Amino acid sequence: MPDVDTGHRITGTVNGAAYDEVVDDRMTLADFLREKLRLTGTHLGCEHGVCGACTVIVDGAASRSCLMLAVQADGTEIETVEVLAEDGELNRLQAAFKKNHALQCGFCTSGFLMSVTAAMREGAIRDEGHAREVLSGNICRCTGYTGLVKAVLEAGE
């Protein structure tokens, strides 16, 4: 519940759509996305910046939305997992995740997708070592990463 005295008005875009909201100083970007905008595809796994489940892309950079305040995102362009599908179909990376069984419970999946999406924009994923490096900023407790590595190699070539 934003405190009017300490609330800040923030504007920007999320997945291309403009928003104009008043938020409490201390509201995290993750809570802003989840609770204010109801974009619940972004998940909170540790809230201290290690697990990576909350990763979103802020002005092109993969960012931990649990470690960022909503007010810090003022004026930025944010992308979340909800933007990835193309015309209602899984995009290349999402399809590669599905094909290679790169997800089980799915809770960490959004964060992985956003981390890898940001990395792929920087260039092709060269080899397995590179894929593992790209994936190593996020934690998955279900898959053992085998499917994730395959998916990234397949989508990132």
Partner 1 sequence: MTTMIGTSVPRREDERLLTGRGRYLDDLDLPDALAAAFLRSSNAHARILQIDLSAARELPGVIAVFSGADLAEIQKPLAPKVLHPQLKDFPRLPMPPGELHYVGEPVAVVIAETRYIAEDALELIDVDYEVLPAVASTAAALEPGGPLAHSDAESNVAVLLTQSAGNTAEALRTAPNRLSEEFFVMRGGGHSMEPRAVAARYEPATGQLTIWDTTQSPHYARQQLSVIYEMAEDDIRVIAPPDVGGGFGPKAQFYGEEVVIPWVAKKLRRPVKWVEDRQENFVSAMMERSQTHRIEVGFDDDGMLLAVKDVIEHDQGAYCAGLQVPSITTATVPGPYRIPNIEIELRACYTNMVPTSSVRGAGRPQAVFAMERMMDRVAEHLGLDPAEVRFRNLIQADEFPYKVGITFRDGSPLTYDSGDFPRLLEGTLDRLGYAEARAEQAKLRAEGRYIGIGIAAYVEGCGLGPYEGAKVRLTNTGRVLVTLAAAGQGQGYETVYAQIASDGLGIDMDHIDVLTGDTSRIPFGQGTFASRITATAGPAVLDAAQQMRVRLVDTAANLLGCDPAEITFTGDRASLNGDLEKSLSLLEIARVANIGKHGITLPVGISAGLETSSYFAPERAAYASGAHAAMVEVDPETGGIEILKYVIGHDCGNVINPKLVDGQVLGGFAHGLGNAMYEEAAYDAEGQPQATSYLDYSLVSAAEVPTVELFHIHSPSPLNPLGVKGAGEGGTIPAPATIANAVEDALRPLGARVNRAPVTPARIVEAIHGDEQALAEVRGS
| Contacts with partner 1, residue ranges (CB under 8 A) | 1, 24, 26-27, 34, 39-48, 50-51, 53, 80-82, 84-85, 90, 94, 97-99, 101, 103-110, 113, 128, 131-133, 135-149
Least distance CB 1 / partner 1 (angstroms): 5
User: Measured between alpha carbons, how far apart are the two ends of the chain, in Å?
Assistant: 45
Nearest to 15 by CA among 84, 61, 70: 84
Q: Which of 104, 98, 108 is nearest to 151 (CA)?
A: 98
Between residues 73 and 102, which has the closer beta carbon with respect to partner 1? Answer: 102
Q: Quick one: 10 or 27, whose CB is closer to partner 1?
A: 27
- Closest Cα partner for 78 from 120, 123, 133, 37? 37
At closest approach, how far in Å is the CB of 140 from partner 1? 7
